[in-house]
């Protein structure tokens, strides 16, 4: 099975080398389980809310009903996955996707503490280095010009107050 | 005041420097996202949504709508020159458009696509202008129970016409409705799933979710592809079509416009369905159906007119009923709500400048697009040369600032990032994001009207089957039934199968 998976790389380029195949059936099961988890969350949360009556529903009625419906759909998807043959494997872990996702997490973490310009500047520089594979002087120039453009467009023209951090 | 007077007022809004500038920005950005593979109208609209917050409602909505129909124009360019559909509605244009380009006739294909799009777009705006006001007047009289019936019907139709698994689509709809319950309950003020966090009082930020689920997940998917794009470049003098091209294309443009206008009413995938139906219709009407797939100009003219004709019709449910039928109009609904404008039957009386300004701007925008798309086609094709590695940081920086600037909360950036990851994973396993987004937008109102209707009826569920609800339900179902039958009769499924085989 694994030989067959490795023989069919669906992702192009060297960055795709980081990607690992996940058998479709297992992936589908994980997603169905996650949906079931979300359904359980809504059902559990709604139990702490006034339910009202069937005729006059309270704030807990809708989330409860939706949670039950979602749980049923998740189970139905699970059952279908079990009854059908698995499709092509799904490749997860592409290098560029991971880098962008991690860099965005970094922005979310530092946006207010470091300030928008420092946070977004570092983010831009990392992406230009890793994704565009630009020379350092181009990265520095692109990042600098980009942040000036951000300042002009958002702060000067649109009046958006961005956090400046300690700087 | 009659419709003509209102339209004059609308032109006053659309022809102001602000109206013109933002209409131009909208259609230009729309064309760009339409040209760039992987960035469709939805991602384009969600990414620029936050920029509209500093504008008045009419101008903001003019810009966003410009992106919507601008992307329809731009999508055809890459379909014809590169055989990569810029957005889903342009898939069918690839077949004959690219064949024409290979035969050295890219110019006429682009010209006919642009003119067909212009005619389709303009006629559909005329239809929007004529149909929406009387429909809104009828809908003013309806109560919350009918609104619930209409919203449920829209969600059911989306499930059934969805291209993917119906089970997964239904799950996405329920998930969207459930996520929509986060925040303070509108009727009682009870906090739901906020865990004492006042930042969640108004629910999860729609902008952050929309940008994450659509924009970010799209970028992640595109990062996995590394294609070398080879575009065919036509010269300006080659754009002029021959007399025979015009003669062949004219009836196809007319039929495509009618098909697009009628099929635009189908919730969910109207613009895609209409292009397939228009293509199948042209093949059926043609005396030489064997030419299709080998560079028949009708195969470009029909679908391109149809996909632009759906844009005006798709606005009718949004503006007259307040119910978005496709994801793009869900973004518009969100934008209007953020600006304090409630779309629906009262829009025309409470905010006529928004409705008529939008209608007028769509006429102007279609002209601007025609002017932009033909002489500047070379520039738009060159956009494909910009390395994706440079585009991604630009798009993401705009997204982050845009999301933050809605509520000035950095938690919204987290919501965007996490929903982007979730959207990416769900898409990898064949879940569609459009039903989730539509349900997210409709969830609040569906619940509110559902509970309001029950309160007004003293807890009787029979209120959802009263005379008005049944009339509306029967009319809507009949209309959808006829459209479905027409789609089948003209071989919609066969056209999809043919295209899939070809791909």
Is A50 touching B (CB cutoff 8 A)? yes
CA of A6 vs chain B CAs: smallest distance (Å): 17
CA of B468 vs chain A CAs: smallest distance (Å): 21
In tens, the pLDDT along B194-240 reads 888 877 888 888 888 888 888 888 888 888 876 555 656 666 566 67
Of B54, B167, B417, the CB nearest to A77: B167
The number of residues making up chain B comes to 503
DSSP states of B278-321 as a string?
A: HHHHHHHH-S-GGGTTS--THHHHHHHHHHHHHHHHHHHIIIII
Per-residue confidence band for B503, with pLDDT thresholds at 50, 70 and 90 = very low
ipTM, two decimals, is 0.89
- Which whole number is the average pLDDT over B355-362? 86
* pLDDT at B316 exceeding the cut of 70: yes
Q: What residues of A are in contact with residue B227 (Cβ under 8 Å)?
A: 12
In this prediction, residue B106 carries a pLDDT of: 82
Contact yes or no for B404 and A162 at CB 8 A = yes
Contact yes or no for B171 and A133 at CB 8 A = no
**Residue of chain B whose alpha carbon sits nearest to that of A57:** B451
More confident residue, B174 or B235: B174
Per-residue confidence band for A4, with pLDDT thresholds at 50, 70 and 90 = very low
More confident residue, B36 or B417: B417
In tens, the pLDDT along A81-106 reads 999 887 788 888 889 899 999 999 99
* pLDDT at A1 exceeding the cut of 60: no
In this prediction, residue A8 carries a pLDDT of: 34
Chains A and B: how many Cβ contacts under 8 Å? 179
- Return all residues near B128 (Cβ < 8 A) that are at least 6 apart: B312, B313, B315, B316, B319, B359, B362
Contact yes or no for B405 and A154 at CB 8 A = yes
Q: Are A161 and B408 in contact (CB under 8 A)?
A: yes
Helix residue spans in B49-180 (DSSP H): 57-81, 93-102, 106-140, 144-161, 166-179
Closest CA to B48 of B32, B62, B29, B34: B29
Burial of B294 (0-12, 13-18, 19+ CB in 10 A): middle
User: What SS3 state is found at B92?
Assistant: coil
* pLDDT at B379 exceeding the cut of 60: yes
- Return all residues near A113 (Cβ < 8 A) that are at least 6 apart: A165
**Residue of chain B whose alpha carbon sits nearest to that of A54:** B459
* pLDDT at A144 exceeding the cut of 90: yes
């Amino acid at each position: 099975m694994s030989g067959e998976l490795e023989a069919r790389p669906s992702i192009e380029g060297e960055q795709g080398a980081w990607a690992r195949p996940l058998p479709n059936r297992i992936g589908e099961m994980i997603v169905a389980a996650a949906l079931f988890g979300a359904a359980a969350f809504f059902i559990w949360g709604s139990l702490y809310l006034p339910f009202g009556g069937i005729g006059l529903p309270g704030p807990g009625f809708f989330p409860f009903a939706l949670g039950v419906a979602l749980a049923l759909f998740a189970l139905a998807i699970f059952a279908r996955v079990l009854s059908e043959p698995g499709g092509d494997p799904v490749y997860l872990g592409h290098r560029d996707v991971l880098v962008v996702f991690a860099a965005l997490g970094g922005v979310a973490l530092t946006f207010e503490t470091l300030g928008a310009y420092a946070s977004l500047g570092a983010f831009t520089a990392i992406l230009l280095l890793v994704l565009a594979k630009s020379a350092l002087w181009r990265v520095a120039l692109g990042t600098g010009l980009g942040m000036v453009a951000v300042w002009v467009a958002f702060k000067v023209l649109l009046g958006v107050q961005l956090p400046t951090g300690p700087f | 005041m009659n419709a003509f007077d209102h339209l004059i007022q609308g032109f006053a809004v659309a022809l102001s420097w602000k109206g013109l500038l933002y209409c131009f920005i909208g259609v230009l950005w729309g064309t760009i996202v339409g040209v760039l593979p992987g960035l469709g109208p939805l991602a384009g609209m969600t990414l620029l949504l936050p920029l509209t917050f500093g504008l008045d409602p009419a101008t903001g909505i003019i810009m966003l709508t410009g992106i919507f129909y601008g992307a329809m124009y731009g999508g055809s360019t890459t379909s014809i020159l590169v055989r990569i559909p810029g957005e889903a509605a342009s898939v069918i244009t690839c077949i004959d458009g690219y064949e024409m380009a290979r035969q050295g006739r890219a110019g006429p294909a682009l010209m006919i696509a642009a003119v067909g799009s212009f005619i389709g777009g303009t006629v559909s705006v005329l239809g929007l202008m004529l149909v929406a006001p009387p429909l809104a007047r009828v809908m003013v009289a309806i109560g919350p129970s009918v609104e619930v019936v209409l919203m449920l019907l829209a969600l059911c139709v989306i499930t059934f016409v969805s291209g993917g698994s119906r089970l997964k689509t239904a799950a996405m709809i329920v998930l969207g409705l459930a996520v929509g319950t986060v925040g303070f309950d509108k009727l009682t003020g009870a906090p739901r799933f906020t865990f004492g966090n006042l930042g969640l009082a108004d629910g999860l930020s729609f902008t952050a979710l929309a940008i994450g689920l659509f924009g970010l997940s799209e970028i992640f998917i595109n990062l996995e592809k590394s294609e070398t794009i080879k575009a065919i470049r036509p010269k300006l003098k080659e754009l002029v079509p021959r007399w025979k091209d015009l003669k062949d294309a004219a009836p196809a443009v007319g039929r495509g416009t009618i098909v697009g206008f009628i099929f635009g009413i189908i919730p969910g995938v109207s613009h895609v369905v209409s292009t397939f139906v228009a293509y199948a219709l042209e093949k059926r009407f043609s005396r030489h159906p064997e030419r299709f797939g080998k560079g028949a100009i009708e195969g470009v003219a029909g679908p391109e007119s149809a996909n632009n004709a759906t844009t005006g019709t798709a606005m009718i449910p949004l503006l007259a009923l307040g119910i978005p039928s496709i994801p793009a109009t869900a973004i518009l609904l969100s934008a209007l709500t953020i600006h304090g404008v409630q779309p629906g039957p009262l829009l025309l009386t409470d905010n006529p400048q928004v409705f008529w300004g939008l209608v007028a701007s769509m006429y102007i925008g279609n002209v601007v697009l025609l002017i932009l798309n033909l002489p500047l086609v070379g520039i738009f094709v060159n956009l494909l040369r910009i390395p994706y590695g440079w585009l991604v940081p630009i798009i993401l920086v705009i997204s982050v600032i845009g999301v933050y600037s809605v509520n000035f909360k950095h938690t919204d950036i987290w919501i965007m990032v996490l929903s982007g990851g979730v959207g990416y994973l769900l898409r990898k396993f064949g879940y569609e994001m459009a039903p989730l987004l539509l349900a997210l937008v409709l969830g609040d109102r569906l619940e509110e009207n559902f509970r309001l209707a029950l309160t007004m009826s003293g807890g009787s569920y029979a209120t959802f089957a009263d005379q008005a609800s049944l009339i509306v339900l029967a009319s809507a179902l009949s209309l959808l039934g006829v459209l479905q039958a027409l789609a089948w009769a003209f071989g919609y499924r066969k056209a999809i199968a043919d295209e899939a085989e070809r791909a």
